[in-house]
Every structure is written in C-alpha cells, then in structure tokens.
Structure 1
Amino acid sequence: MSDLSGQISSTSDEDISVQAAEWLVRLDDDGTDQTTQHEFALWLAKNPRHIQAIERMKKLLGDVEALHQYYPDLEVAKVILQQSLNQSEQSKTHYLYQGLGVLLMCSALIIFFASQYAPLGYWTADQYNRSQSWQQHTLQDHSQVKVSGKTAYNLQFNQQQRTLELLQGNILLDVAKDAQRPFKVVTSHATIQALGTRFMVTQDGQRTILTMLESKTAVWPEQQTNDKIQVVEGQRIEINAKGIVDRQPIQINAHLLEQAWDQRKLVANGDDLTDILDYLEMYYSGKIIFDRASLQGIQVTATLPLDDVEKSLQALAEELNLEIQHSIPYVVKVVRK
C-alpha cells in the first residue's frame, strides 16, 4: 500500500474518498499496529476533509455491517472494497468508485428486501432460526414448536392466553391442551386459534399459509374478527394483505407434507413459481430477487431440496427455461431467458 500519510491534502474529494477507503481496509488488516495508527493520525491531521471522508465511509460500511445480524455470512462490503483495492494503480480510483457504487446500490436493495421479509424486530425476537437450521423448541406450557429456515417469533404467555407472534418463517406446532388459555398464532395477515393440536404455519412476507395436520383451527384475517372460518385436518388455507384468498380450503395430504418437513423438502403441486421462490429464499443464506410480474403465472410441480437451495434453483432453471445470475455475492437473481 502506498504511503498515504505523505500525500498532499490539496486533492479532489474523489481522491480523498479513495484514500479514506484504503485507510479503512488497511486499519482492518493491520489492527492496532502502532506505525499504522501513527501514519493514520498524521493523515487525518492534514485536512479536515480527511476526517469527514472517514466518517462518511464508516457510515456507509456501518449500514452494511448492521445487516450481518440478519445475514451473518454477508461480506459484500469487504469483498468489493478489497477487490477494488487490488486493481492496478492506474485504474484503482475507477474501480474503487465502481465498487462503492455497487455496494451502495446493493445495500439499498438488501435493506429494501429485508424490510419485506424480515420485520424490524427479527433479530431481537424471542426465538430466531438461521436459513439452514431445523430445530425443535419446547414452550413453557409444554407445547412443541418445530422451526426451519429464516424463522423468528415472539411469545406472550400469561394466565389468560398463550400467543405466538410469527414474524417470519415456518413453524410446525403441537399444541398442549389448556382449556383456560387459548393458544393463538398471530402473523401480519391473520390470527389462528388452535382448537386442536397439530398444524403448520408459514409466513413469507407475501402471505400466511395454514396447513392442518390434526384436528382444527379457527382463522380470521387481521382486524377482521367477524370473518372467521374453520380449517380442519387435511386442509390448507392462504391469507394475504387483502384477506382470505379462497374461502374453500385446499385439500392436502397432511402425512406427505409432514414427511416432507422431516426430509427437508418442498413439495410443489401446481404452485406459482413466485411463491416457490419466496419459500426457497427463507432457506437461502442470502437473497433471491426476481421480477414478480414477469414470473407470475408459471406453475411448478416438483419436489425440491431445502437443504440445497442452489440445486433447487438449477432444477427450476432447467425445467422452466430460467437463468440464475450470481453477479453479487450472496444475492441470486432469477430471470426468464
């Protein structure tokens, strides 16, 4: 790395920003090396614009770093900066700014999708689960909750009620009986009250899906308590922001779906491709992005592995003439060919 402390301060804002980016990478690599710290202090003292540039750069990278709580493997910032700094001296400025531009757009894109699929309280939830994790929790009332993929929920138990707020993801519930305290699952689209024992609930941001494995539940859309329907064993119902999608529940093979959960598979039977991609995204370590309008209406009938999302995407691409693009680390784009 060049001796940045010796460079003149009468440079352009662009050059100063490039130097600031170089310093942040160097400080990250060298840690608390005293020589590096001394040279950095000299560089800061040369011009107040140097301090301003460092503060701007830290804020930009800090926004991306904050996302690591939701995407712990995301290294977009470091990868782009490091690749940019590895370019030749002649093209360093161009590539660094190109990298930072991509980083800024990527950050905005990720933040947008995080707001769609991961509510603000996701990483402070009572329980949360990573993309490639299947777990089982025992609640204080001895109810059993299986979770998979990017799932998060809060609990509110008291003497009058038991409420599980599903922020995102997939749960399979085996509810303990308690006649004095009804058990409810609340999502952004609906409230589900257990009248029996076993059922599955999925919330992927676009919709809530209730799948009954045993007994029955009462369901009503958000803020529409008078619009209740009952869903019984072997039925599935979908609720979105507009309410119940179809008041006639879909008949399903409950045993097959529970078996698929245990085998970490997704069984699609004429499902819309956009719904499949939403579901797969919950099991992917990054983001899956696509143009919903251009892919809507394509039906999928397949059994796809949830523990190998890349394999599932390739299978969909081959079958449906799609293209899978990996232009940004940890972000997959699905487009029609």
Structure 2
Amino acid sequence: MSRSAIAEEIVEQAAEWQVLLSSHAGTVGERQALQARYEAWKHARPEHAQAAGRLERLIGDVRAATCTPVLADAGQQALAAGRRVVRRHGKARRMAGAALLALAVAVPAAWLPLQHYSLGMLLADFHTQPGAWRTVRLADGTSLTLGSASAANYRYDAGRRELELVQGQLMVDVAKDASRPFTVVTPEARITALGTRFAVTRHEGMTELFMLESEVRVQAAGTPAVPGLVVRGGQRVRIWADRVGAVQPLDVVAAGNYWHDRRLVVDDMPLPQVLDLLARERPGLVSFDRQALARYSVSGVLDLGDPERAMQLLATSFPIRVRSFGPWLIRIDPMQENPPPG
C-alpha cells in the first residue's frame, strides 16, 4: 500500500474513532472498553498519535468554550462527509477536514456558525471568517484582499498564476509578469488579467466582475471556445457558466469605498441582495423569505462593520421586522399589512 493511501486511512480512522467515542451510548463499562481500544490504536503508531492528537486538541478547546452536549445523530453524517473529504484532498486538507467533521460530531452547537459555509471554504488556502477581511501578499507579489466569509485557492508554478475563488469576494492588485498570465477562476468564469486592479464576487450560479483599473479578458466557463470579452476600468459584468452578460458602468469611487472603508454604497439594489451582503459580515445565519422581500429596493450607504445596526436601519425604511434569536440567528420578515376596512 502506498504512503499516501496509508495517510488517508489514518485520517479516516481518526475521524471514525471520534465519531464512535462521541456517539456511543452504552454502559460505563462499554464506554471504558471502547476508550481502551481507542488508546491502543492511538499508541500503535506515531502517525496514529499525531492524527488523534490534533483532533483531540481541537475538540477539547471548543468543548471548553461552549460546554455543549453531544448529539449522536451527527455521527453518521460526519463520517460519510469525512470519507468524501479524505478521497478528494491532499494530506494536510484531509486532516483539517477530518478535524472539522469530528468537531461537528463532538460539539454540534459549535457547528452552527459554520453550517452555511462549505468545506471547500474552510479547507481553502486562504479564508476569512464572517466579519473579518484579510489582505495577503501572494508568492508572485500580487496583493489579494478577501472580503468577509470568503475563500480562495492559489496555484502558482513556472507557467501559471491561478486564483480560484471558492466563495465570497476578493480584490486583487496584480503583479506584472508577462510570462505567466494571472487568472481568477470560478465555476462560472475565467478572468485573465491584462492589467492591475479588479474585484470578483461569487453569487449562487453567477460570478460578478468589478473592473477598478486597466482591463481583463472574461470567458464563461462552459464556452471556452468563444473569444473572451475585454472588460475595462469603470465597467462591471455578470458571468454565468454558459454566457457573459452585458457590460454595465461601474462607480469606481463607490467600489473603492467598499474595499477600503467597508462602506456599502447601493443604488436601487434589491433588498435580498443587500441582506446577503450584510449576512456575510456576521457569524451565524440571517434567515428571510427572498420572494417576500424582492419587491423592495435599497439606495444608500450602509456600514459593513456593524451589520446588525445596518439591518435595524433598513427596518426603519422598509416595512420589515428584524428579530434576533441569540448570537447565531437573525430572522427578517415583512410586516403584516393592515387588512382593508370591511
């Protein structure tokens, strides 16, 4: 058996042990026997101890912070997901995936802030938590800024510079290198830099490009044979897997304020889209009926640094009710209209 196959087995076994230990509901004697078997497995090989130790430390830290009871039902779901993760990712990411999945089993309430983010996000080369923005310098000198709850993978070698936007939004100030084109890819789009600064946002089934400076070439992912569309500074465009939309004008000053001052400037933007952007800026879930709120459009300036206050401000301008249920859930509903007089 190859070394990588052994590594996959160890990661999966460590996750399986955490599932078993967390979900076992037998007698005290049975639990002690299971614990003894786990200890024997852990000390059988150094690799076992390393994998088990990482999982134990992560679970122990979060348990201490949350004091959450264990729920056995999450066990089989986490184990099934863990098997998918160890087949798809390299060694380091398989270990991280197993740790996260075991955490979901051992401390279910700790999973709530993470549940509407994909494993792809959590295992990415670069990612941010809700409310956190991050700027990093890539190996080629390019400056990458990730917005809240965003993630990206970077592939860099002698012939290419490719940034995969997994989730959320990013802005890049591209370092010049004529021998290696710089490309941002999503499931819907391939965006090749011909200049410097631009931003990209992923929506469900659609990618949006904001051109701040210079120009890029854009292709829909599903139509690689179609010549790319050149998009220039002061323009924006939406891209679906099968087509590139019409080029629209972009307010470069407002876009700059968004990335530099975390101020959201909107002009006739549908309320559900505004709520999506605000929801990225906080942990947990913002729940609302998109169809019921789609008739409202927002124009104004909102502070992304305080999304809860921004939502309450929207409630003073629109007939909506904003309710908080603890730190992890906000529910937004349209106010009931008064019935016509009979």
Q: Under a length normalisation based on structure 1, what TM-score does the superposition of the two structures give?
A: 0.66
CA deviations on 1:175-231 (whole Å, 9 max, x unpaired) are: 011111111101122111111100111114353221111101111222212152111
Q: Per-residue deviation at 1:256?
A: 2.8
* Whole-angstrom distance in 1 between the partners of 2:107 and 2:322: 19
Q: Select the residue among 251, 254, 257 that pairs with 1:256.
A: 254
Partners of 1:227 and 1:289 in 2: CA distance = 40
User: Residue 165 and residue 151 in structure 1: after superposition, are their counterparts in 2 closer, same or farther (change >3 A)?
Assistant: same
Partner in structure 1 of residue 71 of structure 2: 57
Q: Which amino acid aligns with 1:41?
A: V
Q: Where does residue 231 of structure 1 map in the other structure?
A: 231
2:330 corresponds to: 332
Which residue number corresponds to residue 41 of structure 1? 28
1:22-79 deviation digits (Å, cap 9, x = unpaired):
xx9xxxxxxxxxxxxxx9716979xxxxxxxxxx933437969x99959x9xx99559
* Count of aligned residue pairs for this structure pair: 256
Partner of 2:223, secondary structure, is coil
Conserved 8 A contact 2:222-2:242: no
Cα pair distance change 1:42/1:254, threshold 3 Å:
same
CA contact (8 A) 2:264 2:304 kept: yes
| Residue equivalent to 1:292 | 290
Pair 322,63 (structure 1): closer, same or farther in 2 beyond 3 Å: farther
In structure 1, distance between residues paired with 2:127 and 2:236: 25
Task: Give, as a single letter, the amino acid of the residue that structure 1 aligns with 2:72.
Answer: K
Structure-2 separation of matches of 1:277 and 1:227: 35
Q: What residue is the counterpart of 2:141 in the other structure?
A: 142
Aligned to 2:269: 271
1:120-165 Cα shifts (integer Å, max 9, x gaps):
3111111111112122111111011111201110011122211100
User: Cα distance 1:330–1:61, how it changes in 2: closer, same or farther (>3 A)?
Assistant: farther
Structure 1 runs, 4 residues or longer, greater than 4 Å off: 42-45, 61-64, 66-70, 75-79
Cα gap change, 1:305/1:206 in structure 2, threshold over 3 Å: closer, same or farther? farther
The verdict on how the C-alpha distance between 1:210 and 1:335 changes in structure 2, with shifts beyond 3 A counting, is same
- Within a 5 Å distance, the mapping from 1:1-337 to structure 2 comes to 41=28, 57-60=71-74, 111=115, 113-114=116-117, 118=118, 120-225=119-224, 226=226, 228-240=228-240, 243-244=243-244, 246-247=245-246, 249-327=247-325, 329-337=327-335
Question: Partners in 2 of 1:218 and 1:297 — Cα distance?
Answer: 34
Cα distance between partner residues in 2 of 1:315 and 1:242: 38
Equivalent pair of 2:114/2:284 in contact (CA under 8 Å): no
Asked if 2 retains the 8 angstrom alpha-carbon contact of 1:204 and 1:279, the reply is: no
Q: Which residue of 1 aligns with 2:12?
A: none
Residue type of the partner of 1:292?
R
Task: Give 2:83's aligned residue.
Answer: none
Q: Specify the alignment match of 1:18 in structure 2.
A: none
- CA distance, structure 1, for counterparts of residue 205 and residue 288 of structure 2: 14
How much identity, in percent, do the aligned residues show? Answer: 29
Distance 2:240 2:228 in 1: 15
Secondary structure of the structure 1 residue equivalent to 2:148: strand
CA–CA separation in structure 1 for the residues paired with 2:328 and 2:98: 12
Is 2:129–2:148's contact at 8 Å kept on the other side of the alignment? Answer: yes
Using the TM superposition, give the Cα deviation of residue 304 of structure 1 relative to its aligned residue in structure 2, in angstroms.
0.8
The one-letter amino acid paired with 2:178 is A
- Please give the alpha-carbon distance, in whole angstroms, between the structure 2 residues aligned to 1:283 and 1:260: 13
- SS of alignment partner, residue 150 of structure 1: coil
